[in-house]
Amino acid sequence: MGEPRARGRFGEYGGRYAPESLVEACREVAEAFREAWADPGFRGALARLLAVHAGRPTPLTPAGRLSEALGVRLYLKREDLTHTGSHKINNVLDQALLAARMGRRRLIAETGAGQHGVATATAAALLGLEATVFMGERDIERQAMNVFRMRMLGAEVVPVTTGSRTLKDATSEAMRHWVGATGDSHYCIGSVVGPDPYPWMVRELQRVIGDEARGQCAAELRTGVPDYVVACVGGGSNAAGTFAGFADTPARLVGVEAEGGAGAARGRLGVLHGCRSLFLQDDDGQITQPHSIAAGLDYPGVGPEHAHLRDLGRARYVTVTDDEAVGAAVRLARTEGIVPALESAHALAWVIRAAGDGDLPAGSTVLMTLSGRGDKDVSTLKELL
């Protein structure tokens, strides 16, 4: 998985479908990122930040009791143990450092449940930048605690009152706002979506997950490489970062989507937020509202590289239901002492189902990215259990 072809294309997906001023701003981000990524000074500063602030490298944990029950050998890449509790911090610390290098003084971000907003507010505070976070009015009502955390970290939270007043509209509003602020602000997008260069830039920023896991698997597994590599997919950043570490191996790549947010498994070609990819749409081509118990999987589409990997057959995309995810979360809590984020529980739910129906052959080695911890979901779970 290298840099995409001309004009940010992954096959027929990707691109930069944005107003003139944003096309120019995206070009600047791409150039600055290429330069920074090739600069050992930048890479060193970033590696240090990820180590001393975010807690990297994260462990690879064998799930012993669960493996025994399932008849496979399951290893968990523990992004839940990072500062702020999910892989999102990998992306935002890097983008914040890049913004500072570009002389920007402010980060703009969109957020759904607030996890990317909290991570952005955290990175901004750490580096002395301002943060403006766009959030749908409905999400603000549902996620009061994260709104408070962002404000405590010094970020401005802007309520979005258009459309369904959720993530899709918050993203549109953040991009609109960036049009008038490209001179002093960097748009810190939260997944492998949006106009070029974001899909490949964010994947490169998340490949630390896959690269670390590759080294850890080499040390831990007899074969050196797992038979399966599994991750949940919202926009697709934790999966893209994980897959990147194993792209050149025979490992089978599996992305697990929410039944109600299955862009890769069930989306159709369209353009949204500056990018051509697969989106959930009605017969008129209107983007439809996704539904998932896991807020991080509540995006109506998927990043362009995942769409391309699907077409190539290099990765497979499957779906699980809310109930399966909740069941998997409880099972992990009781067998391994880990309460996962409901997003991550989707990946596990597929592993459990596939081990049961033979889709995962007995004895397979499975690397699964545990993208985040479940603290944020306890009130949701409390209602159900």
Query: 191, 208, 31, 175: which is closest to 115 by C-alpha?
Result: 191
Sort 172 into a burial class: Cβ within 10 Å, 0-12 / 13-18 / 19+.
middle
89 and 123 in contact (C-beta within 8 Å)? Answer: yes
Give the integer Cα–Cα distance in Å for 342 and 326: 7
Give the integer Cα–Cα distance in Å for 114 and 121: 10
Which positions from 184 to 213 touch ligand PLP by CB under 6 A, shown as an x/- string? -------x----------------------
- Residue of 199, 226, 235, 301 interacting with ligand PLP (CB under 6 A): 235
Binding status of residue 325 toward ligand PLP by CB under 6 A: no
159 - beta bridge partners?
135
Binding status of residue 238 toward ligand PLP by CB under 6 A: yes
How many other CB atoms sit within 10 Å of the CB of residue 307? 27
Tokens of 192: 């492998």
Binding status of residue 255 toward ligand PLP by CB under 6 A: no
Give the integer Cα–Cα distance in Å for 156 and 132: 5
Region binding ligand PLP by CB under 6 A among candidate stretches 215-223, 234-242, 267-275, 314-322: 234-242
Of 86 and 166, which has the nearer Cβ to ligand PLP? 86
Which positions from 358 to 377 touch ligand PLP by CB under 6 A, shown as an x/- string? -------------xx-----
Of 238 and 365, which has the nearer Cβ to ligand PLP? 238
CB-based closest residue to ligand PLP: 372
Residues 6+ apart with CB under 8 A from 294: 232, 234, 258, 325, 341, 342, 343, 345, 346, 377
Task: Report the relative pairing of strands 252-258 and 315-320 from DSSP bridges.
Answer: parallel
User: Which secondary-structure segment (H or E) carries 37?
Assistant: helix 20-37
Binding status of residue 234 toward ligand PLP by CB under 6 A: yes
- Residue of 86, 90, 319, 380 interacting with ligand PLP (CB under 6 A): 86
Residues 6+ apart with CB under 8 A from 7: 14, 15, 16, 196
How many residues sit in the footprint of ligand PLP (CB under 6 A)?
18
Of 10 and 182, which has the nearer Cβ to ligand PLP? 10
- Residue of 67, 292, 344, 364 interacting with ligand PLP (CB under 6 A): 344
User: Smallest gap, in angstroms, from Cβ of residue 92 to ligand PLP?
Assistant: 11
Of 100 and 329, which has the nearer Cβ to ligand PLP? 329
Of 100 and 348, which has the nearer Cβ to ligand PLP? 348
Of 304 and 364, which has the nearer Cβ to ligand PLP? 304
User: Smallest gap, in angstroms, from Cβ of residue 103 to ligand PLP?
Assistant: 28
Which positions from 140 to 169 touch ligand PLP by CB under 6 A, shown as an x/- string? ------------------------------
Catalytic residues: 88, 110, 371
The residues in 260-279 that bind ligand PLP, with binding defined as CB under 6 A, are none
Tokens of 218: 């080499």
User: Smallest gap, in angstroms, from Cβ of residue 237 to ligand PLP?
Assistant: 3
Beta strands in the chain (DSSP E): 9-10, 13-14, 60-62, 73-78, 106-111, 130-136, 156-160, 185-187, 228-232, 252-258, 268-272, 275-279, 301-302, 315-320, 365-370
Binding status of residue 58 toward ligand PLP by CB under 6 A: no
Question: Residues interacting with ligand PLP, by CB under 6 A?
Answer: 86, 88, 115, 191, 232-238, 296-297, 341, 343-344, 371-372
